[in-house]
């Protein structure tokens, strides 16, 4: 099973090119729970966006899609030039960023999407990195009610909102999946 996991704003934004424009600890815990024990695949920019002390992500093989050679910058990760045709592991997760989600969306079976209750397009302008549009071959199979994050606060361009950030976990499975 190849899955993709991301968090996006209501207007489909996943990042500002360097980081995620929000801090929602519950979403990070959700990501950890989904990917724990499984290989993760990410683009070079997403790898570099992880704080050095958190990479490689523990308990998971970290694959870095990249046309460059491995080096000090990739220590702890495994650089690969293209998506493997097959995987040794029965469950593998694509974890971004925008380029890699776009390159793999047609091949993934499952999407785990966290919807962050904010519109960010106006504040990020050209820096906005977008999630792919979810193809119609995915059916919404489950969701949960809106939750209010008590600790998470929306951060945009260094400004903190006092409003708790709402989020929702959504799981999509491809309708034509066996």
Ligand X SMILES: NC(=O)c1ccc[n+]([C@@H]2O[C@H](COP(=O)([O-])OP(=O)(O)OC[C@H]3O[C@@H](n4cnc5c(N)ncnc54)[C@H](OP(=O)(O)O)[C@@H]3O)[C@@H](O)[C@H]2O)c1
Q: Which is nearer to ligand X, 17 or 84 (CB)?
A: 17
Interface residue with ligand X among 28, 103, 115, 147 (CB under 6 A) is: 103
Interactions with ligand X, residue window 2-41 (CB under 6 A): 6-7, 14-20
Task: Kindly give, in sequence order, each residue whose CB lies less than 8 Å from that of residue 125, ignoring residues fewer than 6 positions away.
Answer: none
**Cα separation of the two ends of the chain:** 11
Interactions with ligand X, residue window 105-124 (CB under 6 A): none
What are residue 129's DSSP bridge partners?
15
Residue 44 Cβ vs ligand X, minimum distance, rounded to whole Å:
4
In this structure, what token pair is assigned to residue 171? 């799981």
Contact between 100 and ligand X per CB under 6 A: yes
Contact between residue 173 and residue 141 where contact means Cβ atoms under 8 Å apart: yes
Q: Which one-letter DSSP state was computed for residue 24?
A: -
Supply the DSSP string of 136-148, one letter for each residue. Answer: TTEEEEEE---EE
Interactions with ligand X, residue window 33-92 (CB under 6 A): 42-46, 49, 65-68, 81-82
- Angstrom CA distances, 173 to 2, 51, 124, 147, 177, stand at 11, 31, 30, 22, 7
Residue 178 Cβ vs ligand X, minimum distance, rounded to whole Å:
25
Size of the site for ligand X (CB under 6 A): 29
Residue 127 Cβ vs ligand X, minimum distance, rounded to whole Å:
8
- Peptide bond preceding 101 in cis form (omega within 30 of 0): no
Q: Which is nearer to ligand X, 99 or 173 (CB)?
A: 99
Residue 48 Cβ vs ligand X, minimum distance, rounded to whole Å:
8
Q: What are phi and psi of 103, to 5 degrees?
A: -75, -20
Contact between residue 128 and residue 121 where contact means Cβ atoms under 8 Å apart: yes
Interactions with ligand X, residue window 139-178 (CB under 6 A): none
Give the binding site for ligand X (CB under 6 A): 6-7, 14-20, 42-46, 49, 65-68, 81-82, 95-100, 103, 129
């Amino acid at each position: 099973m190849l899955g993709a996991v991301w968090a996006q704003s209501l207007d489909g934004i996943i990042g500002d090119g360097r980081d995620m424009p929000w801090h929602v600890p519950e979403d990070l815990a959700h990501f950890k729970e989904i990917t724990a024990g499984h290989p993760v695949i990410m683009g070079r920019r997403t790898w570099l966006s992880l704080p050095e002390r958190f990479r490689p992500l523990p308990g998971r093989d970290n694959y870095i899609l990249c046309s460059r050679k491995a080096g000090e910058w990739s220590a702890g990760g495994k650089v690969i030039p293209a998506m493997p045709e097959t995987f040794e592991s029965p469950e593998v997760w694509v974890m971004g960023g925008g380029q890699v989600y776009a390159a793999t969306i047609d091949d993934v079976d499952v999407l785990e999407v966290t919807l962050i209750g904010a519109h960010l397009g106006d504040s990020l302008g050209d820096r906005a990195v977008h999630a792919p549009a979810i193809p119609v071959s995915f059916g919404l199979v489950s969701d949960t009610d809106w939750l209010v994050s008590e600790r998470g606060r929306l951060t945009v361009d260094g400004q903190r909102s006092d409003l708790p950030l709402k989020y929702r976990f959504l799981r999509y499975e491809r309708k034509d999946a066996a």
